[in-house]
Structure 1
Amino acid sequence: MGAFASLLMMLGAVAAYHWVFLEGVRQGWPGFGSVARLVTQGELDSKELYMRENLDAMARKLGEMQGRMVQIESLGERVAGLAGINPQEFKLPAGSGGALVGGRDLTVDELMAAMDQLDRNTGSRVDWLTVVESRLFDQKILRTMVPTEEPVQGGQVGSPFGFRIDPITGRSAMHTGLDFPADTGTPILAAAGGVVVVQEVHPAYGNMVEIDHGNDLITRYAHSSRVLVRKGDIVKRGQKIAEVGSTGRSTGPHLHFEVWVSGVVQDPRRFLDAGENLAAAQLAPRGPRKQ
């Protein structure tokens, strides 16, 4: 009972002290104003320290994000060059902001302005990289539609493109493709992706397949012993479409391979060499990048 009474007295004393202190501040009694200012100033100092610590942490994080943006910009320049786009177009416009300047405290307004600028720059970089990605995708599709794949793996060329002595007539005649001698049944591969537009038995070409690769570019595969595709089929680069044979006007098993562009026969070796050079460039070891 005595402890309870003591507790009530302590609570009453605290309440009375609090009432007297507040009343003294309101009435302007001597000495109370200075004490109130000390208490208030301490609270303000604590709040300001808390805000400053948080602003400094946010500023450091923003500086890291801006550093990442510089790295993304540098990478974007290199990728844009691979896509055939002027890398200078990837650079941020003048006055768009950069890394935060150290050595001074940032205000809340300055920090928010820097964050807004970073957000705008990020959005523009995303849009630009989307354009670069689209261009690279178009180039990849285009490469898959150009006949650079060897139609007979590891095959050696027999008769090249150009004039030669015809093995049947013994007279000089134009040879409109490349011959790949191989055993009967050797796989014949599509030199590029496309659509089969011809699959027929021809008096001279024997079992023949033609593939349309778009852009007025067609490849022809002749003298097959067996054909595995039909007109209208979509084929991929390197897909097996037939097997080597000696059908039609032929003196032995081989693939006769032709390339036509806009109705004009071309030397297939130019296309196949381009594919070999590209493969060699991709496999070549890369030296240290210049700084």
Structure 2
Amino acid sequence: MHFIITDAWLAKSRAIHLSGTKLVLALVGLSFALMLCAAGLYHWVFLKGAREGWPVVGSMLRLVVKDEFEQRDRFMRENLDAMARKLGEMQAKMVQLEALGERVSGLAGVNPAEIRAVAGRGGALVEGRPLTLEELQKTLADLDELTASRADLLTVMESRLFDAKIRKMMVPTQQPVQSGNLGSSFGWRIDPFTGRSALHTGLDFQADVGTAIHSAAGGVVVTSEVHPAYGNMVEVDHGNDLVTRYAHASKLLVRKGDLIKRGQKIAEVGTTGRSTGPHLHFEVLVQGVPQDPQKFLAAGQNMPPVAQATPAGLHR
């Protein structure tokens, strides 16, 4: 395409040749410039009309704002409905946890009525109508308060159950010799050395020399020494004035001050001290007074066995 440009007196002229590519680029550039001008003019007119309150522009602005608000409200409603469903599921789970907590509270020694009195009950979501944001926030606050009270009560129950477990582990109910046969029992008998009646203050477990002796409960070693009558002897303090004694051992594996777990190997069977043959003499003392160990061992017959711990690394 050719363009010839002349001046007013036709004295000068200039020819411009546009190829197809240049013509397309020129049209595109012109269109883009017109679009920018139109957008700028529209923006200027729209803002000016909005500020000065032109009727037509005001109506258009109200329509745009109304549509935007409707979309935003629809989006918020969908999210509120989704949150309300999730909240309903959380409340249902809290009801299940409450029932479980009441059952566990009996094991922990907590009155279930205390749980209901302290924690209260969460209000159920209202079905059949949409929730407002304020109602949803209030329900969430109530659920948060309920969860906090449940956590406190579960912590109390955990503490009580843990204390009960510790107390149970500190009572000498585990057999000190697994493969030994019971010999002399607790009570009066004829002393094998003097031939006279004497009080036998413990239980004798007959076993081969070297048989493992295990602690009947957890505690602290208070004595690990050679005694004139008891031979190699270990005493373990279990708290509450409760002590167990293991006598006539061939080898002692713990020292005074060691922390002992229930079922831990602490010595080996022997025949040291005032003994007529290899055996373990086992005593239970409460406030220094010998008790019948069979009563304690009988109470532990239905308890699950405890993994035996090794004494290595437990010295202090």
Instruction: Deviation per CA, 1:95-125: give whole Å up to 9, x if none.
Output: 6423423221000000011111111122222
Instruction: Deviation per CA, 1:128-158: give whole Å up to 9, x if none.
Output: 2222222222222222221111110132211
* 1:23 paired residue number: 49
Question: Shift in Å at residue 217 of structure 1?
Answer: 0.5
Q: Gaps spanning 5+ residues in structure 2: where?
A: 1-25, 306-316
* 2:77 paired residue number: 52
* 1:122-271 superposed matches below 5 A: 122-271=147-296
Whole-angstrom distance in 2 between the partners of 1:14 and 1:92: 68
Whole-angstrom distance in 2 between the partners of 1:6 and 1:235: 92
Residue 90 of structure 1 is aligned with which of 111, 115, 120?
115
Partners of 1:96 and 1:117 within 8 A in 2? no
Question: Bigger CA drift: 88-97 or 179-188?
Answer: 88-97
Residue 54 of structure 2 aligns to which amino acid in structure 1? Q
When Rg is computed on C-alpha atoms for both structures, the one with the higher figure is: 2
Q: Gaps spanning 5+ residues in structure 1: where?
A: 281-291
- SS for the counterpart of 1:209 is strand
Question: Shift in Å at residue 50 of structure 1?
Answer: 0.8
Are the structure 2 counterparts of residues 178 and 14 from structure 1 closer, same or farther at C-alpha, using a change threshold of 3 Å?
same
Partners of 2:209 and 2:250 within 8 A in 1? yes
Partners of 1:185 and 1:244 within 8 A in 2? yes
Partners of 1:205 and 1:223 within 8 A in 2? yes
Instruction: Deviation per CA, 1:70-89: give whole Å up to 9, x if none.
Output: 23323333333222222332
Question: Bigger CA drift: 111-120 or 192-201?
Answer: 192-201
Question: Shift in Å at residue 237 of structure 1?
Answer: 1.7
Whole-angstrom distance in 1 between the partners of 2:253 and 2:265: 8
Whole-angstrom distance in 1 between the partners of 2:181 and 2:188: 19
Residue 93 of structure 2 is aligned with which of 44, 47, 68?
68
Instruction: Deviation per CA, 1:148-169: give whole Å up to 9, x if none.
Output: 1111013221111122333334
Residue 182 of structure 2 aligns to which amino acid in structure 1? V
Whole-angstrom distance in 2 between the partners of 1:210 and 1:134: 29
Question: Shift in Å at residue 177 of structure 1?
Answer: 0.9
Whole-angstrom distance in 2 between the partners of 1:155 and 1:134: 37
* 1:287 paired residue number: none
Are the structure 2 counterparts of residues 42 and 248 from structure 1 closer, same or farther at C-alpha, using a change threshold of 3 Å?
same
| RMSD between superposed Cα atoms in Å | 2.7
Instruction: Deviation per CA, 1:14-54: give whole Å up to 9, x if none.
Output: 6656637973992336xx76655544433322221111001
- SS for the counterpart of 1:276 is coil
- SS for the counterpart of 1:225 is strand
Whole-angstrom distance in 2 between the partners of 1:211 and 1:105: 67
Question: Bigger CA drift: 3-12 or 101-110?
Answer: 3-12
Partners of 2:119 and 2:149 within 8 A in 1? no
Are the structure 2 counterparts of residues 209 and 35 from structure 1 closer, same or farther at C-alpha, using a change threshold of 3 Å?
closer
- SS for the counterpart of 1:91 is helix
Question: Shift in Å at residue 199 of structure 1?
Answer: 2.7
Whole-angstrom distance in 1 between the partners of 2:143 and 2:189: 67
Question: Bigger CA drift: 10-19 or 49-58?
Answer: 10-19
Are the structure 2 counterparts of residues 79 and 200 from structure 1 closer, same or farther at C-alpha, using a change threshold of 3 Å?
same
User: Number of matched residues?
Assistant: 278
Sequence identity (%)? 63
What's the TM-score, normalizing by structure 1?
0.83
Instruction: Deviation per CA, 1:232-269: give whole Å up to 9, x if none.
Output: 33322222222111222222111111101112211101
Question: Shift in Å at residue 4 of structure 1?
Answer: 3.7
